[in-house]
Amino acid sequence: MPKPVVSEEKRRRRRLTRSGKVLSEQLIIDTAMRLLREHGSTGLSARRLGLALDCDPSTLYRYFRGMDDLTLAIGDTLIGQALHGWSPTGAWRADLRGLGVRIHAAYVAHPQAAVLTTSRVTGRANELAADEAVLGVLRGAGLPVADAVPVYHAFIDQTLAFAALDAASLALPNAALRAEDEVWRSTYAHLPASSHPHIAAAAPLLATEMVNSAYPSALDLLLDAVAARLKAAAQQGSDGRTRG
């Protein structure tokens, strides 16, 4: 019985669970995300999910190949939420910024789920749509494919990287969170200026700075670089040259 997971649209017989519910991919994903939110990023388990859905854990293997497969599905759902309602306006900079902020926000809004999925490539529908959107904006702005690809790479990796980092600190279980807070208060805030002069001098500022995400500023830096490349390409074009 190792593999025969049937896809959602091929599913024909909708049998009731012992508690009378009807399962579906979407219901399982939603419940999993709720569990993640309630119990932290390590709080999702087949048994707990079975308990929440009032079905046997092994039943889940009729819908997903395993917990890892379910994880990927959750990740694609997050990207889907980010893209929901987005459409390009034609202003490349605003469009790209919007995409970045939306994706980052979607992950950060579900930090426990994000921790599990940020660095996974799923190849599922919503992930593909996001990639297509980013590449489309860049090329629509006038960037040749060869220039668009590295920019796309930096853009998407930076967005996911910050999303992962920011989500990770938001997703820490309460115990670990208090522990890090304690580390901060007991260590960073009281370092003697003799051994760590710079941290000591910056301590009060660090306390307020470190709670925010550095993503927006990093994103704007990247957009500046894109603008510079576009300008250079335009100038090159008006010079009548085709290659640098």
For the residues of 161-216, what is the DSSP string, one character each?
Answer: HHHHHHHHHHHS-HHHHHHHHHHHHHTGGG--TTT-HHHHHHHHHHHHHTTS-SHH
Task: Give me the helix-helix angle, 25-39 and 67-83, nearest 10°.
Answer: 90
CA distance 66 to 82: 25
By CB under 7 A, is residue 66 in contact with DNA? Answer: yes
201 touches, from a copy of itself, DNA, none (C-beta below 5 to 8 Å by class): a copy of itself
Q: 13 to 52, contacts with DNA by CB under 7 A?
A: 13-19, 22-23, 44-48
CA distance 99 to 106: 11
Q: List 22's β-bridge partners, or say none.
A: 16
By CB under 8 A, is residue 158 in contact with a copy of itself? Answer: yes
For the residues of 126-160, what is the DSSP string, one character each?
Answer: HHHHHHHHHHHHHHHTT--HHHHHHHHHHHHHHHH
By CB under 8 A, is residue 64 in contact with a copy of itself? Answer: no
CA distance 126 to 115: 18
By CB under 8 A, is residue 236 in contact with a copy of itself? Answer: no
Among 113, 114, 135, 141, binds a copy of itself (CB under 8 A): 135
By CB under 8 A, is residue 233 in contact with a copy of itself? Answer: no
Among 154, 193, 227, 234, binds a copy of itself (CB under 8 A): 154
Residues counted in the chain? 244
191 touches, from DNA, a copy of itself, none (C-beta below 5 to 8 Å by class): a copy of itself
User: In the complex with DNA, which residue's Cβ is closer, 61 or 152?
Assistant: 61
Helix (H) / strand (E) element for 76: namely helix 67-83
Contact criterion met (CB below 8 Å) for 37 and 29: no
CA distance 43 to 40: 5
State in angstroms the smallest separation of the CB of 183 from DNA: 17
By CB under 7 A, is residue 140 in contact with DNA? Answer: no
Q: 105 to 124, contacts with a copy of itself by CB under 8 A?
A: 118-123
By CB under 8 A, is residue 146 in contact with a copy of itself? Answer: yes
Binding site for DNA (CB under 7 A): 1-2, 4, 6, 11-19, 22-23, 44-48, 55-59, 61-63, 66-68
Binding site for a copy of itself (CB under 8 A): 68, 118-123, 128, 131-132, 135-136, 139, 145-146, 148-150, 152-154, 157-158, 160-162, 164-165, 168-169, 176, 180, 183-184, 186-188, 191, 196-199, 201-202, 205-206, 209-210, 212-214, 217-218, 221-222, 224-225
